[in-house]
Amino acid sequence: MKRASIVTIGNEILSGQTVDTNAAYLSGNLLSIGIPVVSSYTVGDDVDLIAQGLERACNDGDVVLATGGLGPTDDDLTRQAMARFLGTELQFHDELLKKIRQFFVRRNVKMSTKNRVQAYLPAGTRALPNHVGTAPGIMAEVKGKLVFALPGVPCEMQEMFEQAVLDRLKALAAEQAIVVRKLRCFGTGESNIAELIGPFMQRGRNPLVNCTTDCGVITLHIIAASKDKSQALEVARTEEESLRNVLGDLIYGTDDQTLAEVVGQRLGRQKKTLAVAESCTGGVLAKLITDVPGASRYFTHGWVTYSNPAKIMELGVDASLIDKYGSVSEQVALAMARGARKRAQADFAIGITGIAGPAGGTEQKPVGLVYIGVDSDGGTETKRFIMSGDRGSIRLRAAKNALNILRLTLHI
């Protein structure tokens, strides 16, 4: 099995000003294609230290992924360090400069002379295109090992990894056929899932089942290995079937599907439309829905009625309901959903109201209390939640739970 090592470059990581999310992103993605990460080094913006990090990583793994230090400023030293590590010189590439120039032309911005350094590559290496920023990545082969230098900005790094690195690594991992199938679950906790599928998660099995969790979404990674691809596929398929028998509706999707994608697919298939009315989530639910390309086919209207007058005026919520039950109540959540559905003439509507904190909680209505109402031709449904975590995670969990309620409604 091929192994990987990661080098994270940047003083901002060592000074604690930035949390290194790139390493976790890369590790998770590498694991999914069957290349486990065996070591990870963080080094400062220093040519010698970066070169040493690359050296060590190259000793540990068959693949090295470095992030950071490709920017245009004087403390971006990955190009030089890589040249030192490879024992070669930097070379200027006119076609890279052209691409960098085009980036600025498209934006109608003057290119700084500083950006010129980004057109240099260590001799014998190849550029990886950057569609998000200016810095090209670098790919090198040394002693039969593959070394990639990617930008440190997460969105640039991820785009480059997916576009220019992933397929190469998949091919590398292909000697032993590894099939990874992810099952996405929502609606219960990790420990409960672990209890339900305990026997599946034992170490050393083939397939291996790993479990990761991210803000309410629990992902089961089925990793099946075999000499032969179709054999590995079959092993993964059988395992998926067994897991589905145990987990049922807790599994909402596969691979990289989000709840919003699954809801969107079901709405699209059933030719139904959706409107949302948000209070405490303040746009998070609409954002998740419209993160999905093509959401305009089923999503037409969203309201962020952050004030009571907005709830009354825009959604026709009865003022007396707010007086009687408070704006954070089952009744108001449902009235918001009903109002949104009516105004948007939609088939389904969701209303959310709650207390995202950090202030505004009481003993009766604590921070984290959220009501979600769903209105449709088929009737209405409301649910009450007490979410834990900070403001950001309360809001995100509330929006995801709303999508999950709708998913289960659309299932029927």
Tokens, residue 157 = 């790094």
CB nearer a copy of itself, residue 134 or residue 376 = 134
Q: How many residues of this chain bind a copy of itself (CB under 8 A)?
A: 120
DSSP state, 195? H
- Under the binding rule (CB under 8 A), the answer on residue 382 touching a copy of itself is no
Residues 31-90 that bind a copy of itself (CB under 8 A): 31, 36-44, 49, 71-75
Window contacting a copy of itself (CB under 8 A); options: 105-113, 136-144, 231-239, 372-380:
105-113
CB count within 10 Å of CB 410 equals 20
For tokens 């509706």, the residue is 249
- Under the binding rule (CB under 8 A), the answer on residue 383 touching a copy of itself is no
Least distance to a copy of itself, CB of residue 3, Å: 10
Window contacting a copy of itself (CB under 8 A); options: 169-177, 245-253, 374-382, 388-396:
388-396
- Under the binding rule (CB under 8 A), the answer on residue 358 touching a copy of itself is yes
Exactly one of 150, 235, 243, 284 binds a copy of itself (CB under 8 A); which one? 284
Class of residue 19 by CB neighbours under 10 A (exposed 0-12, middle 13-18, buried 19+) = exposed
- Under the binding rule (CB under 8 A), the answer on residue 283 touching a copy of itself is yes
Sign of the four-CA dihedral 79, 80, 84, 87: positive
Window contacting a copy of itself (CB under 8 A); options: 198-206, 261-269, 371-379, 401-409:
198-206
- The gap between the terminal CA atoms of the chain, to the nearest Å, is 44
Tokens, residue 161 = 């990894």
- Under the binding rule (CB under 8 A), the answer on residue 213 touching a copy of itself is yes
Window contacting a copy of itself (CB under 8 A); options: 78-86, 140-148, 261-269, 301-309:
301-309
Residues 6-25 that bind a copy of itself (CB under 8 A): 6, 8, 10-21, 23-25
DSSP state, 221? E
Least distance to a copy of itself, CB of residue 147, Å: 18
Q: Looking only at Cα atoms, what is the longest distance across the chain?
A: 77
For tokens 């032969």, the residue is 228
SS3 assignment, position 239: helix
Phi-psi region of 105 (alpha: psi -120 to 50; beta: other; left: phi over 0): alpha
Q: Give the DSSP H/E element, type plus range, for residue 225.
A: strand 217-226
Exactly one of 159, 239, 240, 261 binds a copy of itself (CB under 8 A); which one? 159
The residues that bridge with 209 in the sheet, in sequence order, are 222
For tokens 């990583």, the residue is 57
CB nearer a copy of itself, residue 198 or residue 248 = 198
What is the Cα–Cα distance from 143 to 153, expressed in whole angstroms?
A: 29
- Under the binding rule (CB under 8 A), the answer on residue 310 touching a copy of itself is yes
C-alpha distances (whole Å) from 128 to each of 78, 156, 386 are 14, 11, 46
Residues 235-274 that bind a copy of itself (CB under 8 A): none
SS3 assignment, position 298: coil
Least distance to a copy of itself, CB of residue 398, Å: 12
The residue count for the chain: 412
Tokens, residue 386 = 């007490």
Q: How many CA atoms lie within 13 A of 202 on its CB side?
A: 5
Window contacting a copy of itself (CB under 8 A); options: 89-97, 166-174, 375-383, 385-393:
385-393
Least distance to a copy of itself, CB of residue 338, Å: 17
CB nearer a copy of itself, residue 314 or residue 381 = 314
Least distance to a copy of itself, CB of residue 211, Å: 6
What is the Cα–Cα distance from 220 to 211, expressed in whole angstroms?
A: 5
DSSP state, 165? I
What is the Cα–Cα distance from 108 to 382, expressed in whole angstroms?
A: 50
Exactly one of 67, 80, 134, 226 binds a copy of itself (CB under 8 A); which one? 134
CB nearer a copy of itself, residue 26 or residue 164 = 26
- Under the binding rule (CB under 8 A), the answer on residue 212 touching a copy of itself is yes
Least distance to a copy of itself, CB of residue 134, Å: 7
Window contacting a copy of itself (CB under 8 A); options: 27-35, 169-177, 246-254, 317-325:
27-35
Exactly one of 161, 186, 252, 303 binds a copy of itself (CB under 8 A); which one? 303
- Under the binding rule (CB under 8 A), the answer on residue 109 touching a copy of itself is yes
- Under the binding rule (CB under 8 A), the answer on residue 319 touching a copy of itself is no
